[in-house]
Amino acid sequence: MMQELLKEFSDTLRILNELSSSPYGLLLCISGKGILLMVEPALVESKFNGNFTHSIFSNSKSIPTIGTLAVRISYLGVPITSPITLRYPQYHIHILVFGWLLCIFGLVLASFATQTWHLILTQGAMYSIGWAIYCTPFLIMLNN
């Protein structure tokens, strides 16, 4: 039993070694961890919804719009970003980094929001557009 576990562990280390030696391997490992950290707009929306009920936004009836917009734009944006990403494979890394920065920028700006429409634009729209841009080249590079 212990030998099987050690063999699986050594196989995993070998695969990680092979990935890190390929040009895109390290980027794919880092991007995969990035997707885990920035999992999905739906999870971000549910995480922050609890904060909105105990803050300056507690009287707003537009809070569900933020999550709905974040989820819908991210799902509907991938069919738009896929053809662009497939057409320009030499820019996969650039597209990925741009989407990642847009996600981060959207969440940072959302932390400075004082009105609900600020959250709708930053956390609802900007974050989900960034996620759709970020996720597409990552998934395409995994296929290759």
Domain boundaries, the chain: 1-36, 38-143
Instruction: Kindly report, residue by residue over 63-79, the tens digit of the pLDDT.
Output: 777 878 888 888 888 88
Residue 97: how many other CB atoms lie within 10 Å: 15
Instruction: Kindly report, residue by residue over 31-72, the tens digit of the pLDDT.
Output: 555 554 445 554 555 555 555 555 666 677 777 778 788 888
Residues 6+ apart with CB under 8 A from 24: 141, 144
